[in-house]
Copies of this chain bind each other. A is one copy, B any other.
Amino acid sequence: MNQIPAKYKHTTSQDNSFTILQYFPFLDWLRNYKRSDLTGDMTAGIIVAIMLVPQSMAYALLAGLPPQVGLYASIVPLIVYGLLGTSRALAVGPVAMVSLLVATALGGLELTSVAQYVQMALILALLVGIIQLTMGIFRIGFLVNFLSHPVLSGFTSAVAIVIGLSQFKHLIGVDVPRTDSMPELALFVIEKLPDTNITVLVLSFISVAILLYFKYFLKKHLTYFNLPDHIVSPITKLGPLVAVVIGIGLVVITEVDITSNVPIVGNIPAGLPEFIVPTFDTDYLSQLIPFAFTIAIVGYLESISVAKALASRRRQKVNANQELIALGTANISASFTGGYPVAGGFSRSIVNFAAGSNTGLASIISASLIAITMLFLTPVFYYLPNAVLGAIILVAVTSLFDFETIKHTWHYDKADFASLVVTFVAVLLIGIETGILVGAGTSIGLYLWRTSRPHVAVVGQIGDTQEYRNVLRHENTTTHDNILALRVDESLYFPNAQYLEEVVLNTIADNPKVDHFILICSAINFIDSSALDTLESLHYSLKLSNVNMYCAGVKGPVMDRLRHIGFVDRIGKDNFFMSTHEAVTALCNK
A residues neighboring B (CB under 8 Å): 1-12, 14-15, 142, 145-150, 308-309, 312-317, 320, 408-409, 411-413, 415-416, 443-444, 447-448, 450-458, 460, 471-472, 475-481, 486, 489-491, 493-499, 501-503, 505-512, 523, 525-526, 528-530, 532-533, 537, 541, 544-545, 555, 557, 561, 564-565
Contacts and interface: CB of A to CB of B under 8 A. Distances in A.
A502 B307 CA distance: 13
A320, A480, A491, A512: which has the most chain B beta carbons within 10 Å? Answer: A491
A314 B413 CA distance: 41
A361 to B, nearest CB: 23
B11 A148 contact: no
B6 A541 contact: no
Contact of A145 (B455, B498, B555): B498
A431 to B, nearest CB: 23
A5 B511 contact: yes
Given A416-B528, A452-B142, A545-B315, A458 B11 contact: yes
6 contacts: A145-B496, A145-B499, A315-B509, A412-B564, A447-B528, A454-B525
A27 to B, nearest CB: 20
Contact of A8 (B313, B458, B502): B458
B541 A313 contact: yes
A416 B565 CA distance: 14
B149 A529 contact: yes
A69 to B, nearest CB: 33
Contacts of A544: 312-313
Given A315-B508, A413-B528, A415-B528, 12 more contacts: A4-B479, A5-B471, A5-B511, A6-B510, A7-B507, A145-B497, A145-B498, A146-B495, A148-B493, A317-B509, A411-B565, A447-B528
Contact of A408 (B5, B8, B491, B565): B565
Contacts of A502: 10, 320
A575 to B, nearest CB: 19
A507 B511 CA distance: 50
B312 A505 contact: yes
A409 B450 contact: no
A545 B316 CA distance: 10
Contacts of A308: 501
A455 B555 CA distance: 12
A226 B534 CA distance: 35
B561 A525 contact: no
A529 B11 CA distance: 23
Contact of A510 (B9, B412, B494, B525): B9
A376 to B, nearest CB: 41
Contacts of A147: 494
A457 B3 CA distance: 16
A231 to B, nearest CB: 21
B148 A494 contact: yes
Contacts of A475: 4
Given A2-B479, A411-B564, A507 B317 contact: no
Contact of A561 (B412, B448, B486): B412
B11 A479 contact: no
B448 A444 contact: yes
- Of residues A11, A477, A555, which shows the largest number of chain B Cβ atoms within 10 Å of its Cβ? A11
Contacts of A512: 315
B541 A309 contact: yes
A313 B545 contact: yes
B458 A530 contact: no
B457 A11 contact: yes
A312 B505 CA distance: 7
B545 A510 contact: no
Nearest to A411: B565
A147 B408 CA distance: 34
Contact of A142 (B9, B412, B498, B508): B498
A35 B10 CA distance: 70
B6 A511 contact: yes
Contacts of A6: 510-511
A455 B525 contact: yes
Identify which of A409, A412, A564 gathers the most chain B CB atoms within 10 Å of its CB: A412
A413 B567 CA distance: 14
Contacts of A526: 450
A526 B11 CA distance: 21
A495 B316 CA distance: 23
Nearest to A7: B510
